Structures are given as C-alpha cells and as structure tokens.
Structure 1
Amino acid sequence: MGSAMEDSLHYNLLAAHTLFQKTFLYRLNREFPELLPGQPKIIDYLMSHPHSFQRKIAEGCLIEPATLSPILEKMERSGLIRRDKTADNRKNSIVSLSENGTRLGLRLRELFLETETAVCVGITPDEQERLLRILRSIQKNCRKEPA
C-alpha cells in the first residue's frame, strides 16, 4: 500500500460511508423530503428493536443521548413514533413506531436494499459477506478503544 491518503484504510472507510450516505439520502429525499438527518437510522433501528428505551436507541444508532432527544421530539410531533413512560421508570420512555412510522420503515428498508444493490454491482455475495465480517471486526475493535 502506498502512502497517499487515497490508499489508506481510514480514508477509504470514511469515503465509502460518506458516498453511500449521499447516495442513500439522494434516493430518500426524492421520496421523503420531510425526513431529517438521523431519522432514517432511528426508524430502521426501531424496525428491528420495537419498543426500545431511548438510551438503547442512542447506543444502537451511535447517537449521543442529548442529540437523540430533539430528534425523537420532532418524530413524535410528526406522528412517526410514540413514547410511553414506564410505570417503574418515569424518566426513561419506551419508544415505538406508529403505524405511519412502520409503513415508512418498510419503505426505508427497501431503499436501503436498493442502494446496497446499486453500490455493490460487481461485488460477489461472498465478497459482500467477507466485507460484512471485516466491518463487524473493525466495529468490535473500535468499541474496545476509548472514544
């Protein structure tokens, strides 16, 4: 590997993430221009983890809890989610997708899959699986490091 920035792992990880996100957001904004940054990730998380505590959503979406609260407030006002206080813990609410949120979540998942398919042209299923394993290892190692 050369020493040029474009040959470095950090640059290529960041570039792949940024370009994927731009590609996805372009597709998303054509269909759902009202969605704000962070909301698709939260909706996708809630599709897989219904009825989640806010702190778990923050952890799962890699969002600071202080950043998450205003996003959830906007999502609640727009009817995408509902927040229910628990009897034993009044400070922490359980967040769930509304019917509209679930409908949107199903379409978001289709958009994610369409985007993945488009950007993985020429990459075999075996290579995609290997990449997924490598990315999971990188995430695991990053979680061991102090942030």
Structure 2
Amino acid sequence: MAGHPERPIVEAPLYLLRRALQAYTSIWQTEVRDLTPPQYTVLRSLQEEPDLDQSTLGRRAGIDVATLTPLLDRLESRGFVEREVDPKNRRRKLLRLSKPGARLLDDIHPAVRQAEEHALAGLSPEERDTLTDMLQRVARQGAGGAAPSSSTKPETGTRFD
C-alpha cells in the first residue's frame, strides 16, 4: 500500500480526536443543554476578560468571525451578551457578559463539571492532566507553535454552534 500510512484508521490521531470530540459533544448536550460548547467558550472568555472587541474574542475563543457573528447575535438576543460602543474608538464595539449571562454560567457550572467528569471518567487525575497538557501542545502546534491566546489564529470551517 504505497502512499498509505501503516496504522489502521481507527488508531489515527485525527480520527481519535474527532471521535473524542463527538463523544464529548454528545455528553455536553445531555448534561448542559442550555448552551453549545462554542457559546459556553464565548461566555467564559467574556467572563474572564470583559470588554473585548469581536476580533479579539474570536481569537481568544478559537472561533472564526463567520461563525462568531451569528453566535454572538444569538447570545445577545437571549440577553447573555451586551455590546457597547468603545469610548476610545466609536467605530468599535466592545462585548461584555451581561448579568443574566453571568447567572447562567453560575447556574450551569455544576452541569459543565458533570459533563467533564463523565467525559473523562475513565482517566485518573494524572492522566487527565497529561491529556490536557498533550491537547494544549497539539493545539499550539496547529496554531503554528503559538500559545492559545489573542495571537492564535482560529480554525475556520469548524461550526457546531
């Protein structure tokens, strides 16, 4: 089989990452229900760092602008996000977690923890730490070696909000 890897597809890292994400997403949808993982990521990003512009938020959350814009519109229509004109640059809008958005995060925190516990139930605490470390390294490599921060270019074409 010239040109084909020797490893069976079910052992390929990309296949396993995709299957793990599918499993986690299924658990998330069962446990959390009120928000999709990308919506949760956006709200948590705004909780951790209020008053971000949309471009910076997209980089921090790892969500491309084409996906982020309708996601923010939905969160704003539900009252979880507020947009405000930047007093330093009137053409720019800053995003902030609203009080109902903060309450929602507080309310769903136990469900988020339960989803994580359920998804990682087969791993010891040390294995969970190792997995997190390895996923961070893979994510940095995919971002050209950059740390996942405002300098990380989000992946495009991934949409499940």
Asked if Structure 1 and Structure 2 have the same fold, meaning a TM-score greater than 0.5 normalized by the shorter chain, the answer is yes
**Unaligned segments of structure 1, at least 5 residues:** none
Query: d(CA) in 1 for partners of 2:37 and 2:132?
Result: 24
Shift of 1:36: 6.0
Structure 1 residues 25-64: aligned runs within 5 Å: 25-29=29-33, 32=34, 35=35, 38-64=38-64
Q: Percent identity?
A: 22
Q: Which has the higher helix share?
A: 1
Q: Which structure exhibits the higher relative contact order, with contacts defined as CA atoms closer than 8 Å and separated by 6 or more residues? A: 2
Alignment of 1:1-147 (within 5 A): 3-29=7-33, 32=34, 35=35, 38-144=38-144
What CA deviation, in whole Å up to 9, does each residue of 1:100-144 have, x standing for no partner? Answer: 100111233322211111122231111111111111110111100
Structure 1 position 37, deviation (Å): 7.0
What secondary structure, in the 3-state scheme, does the structure 2 residue paired with 1:144 have?
coil
SS in structure 1 of the partner of residue 89 of structure 2: coil
Distance 1:70 1:122 in 2: 36
How many residues in Structure 1 have an aligned counterpart in Structure 2?
143
User: Which is worse superposed, 84-93 or 37-46?
Assistant: 37-46
Unaligned runs of 5+ in 2: 1-5, 146-152, 156-161
Residues 51 and 94 of structure 1 are in contact (CA less than 8 Å); yes or no, is this contact kept in structure 2? yes
Are 1:40 and 1:108, in contact at CA under 8 Å, matched by a contact in 2? Answer: no
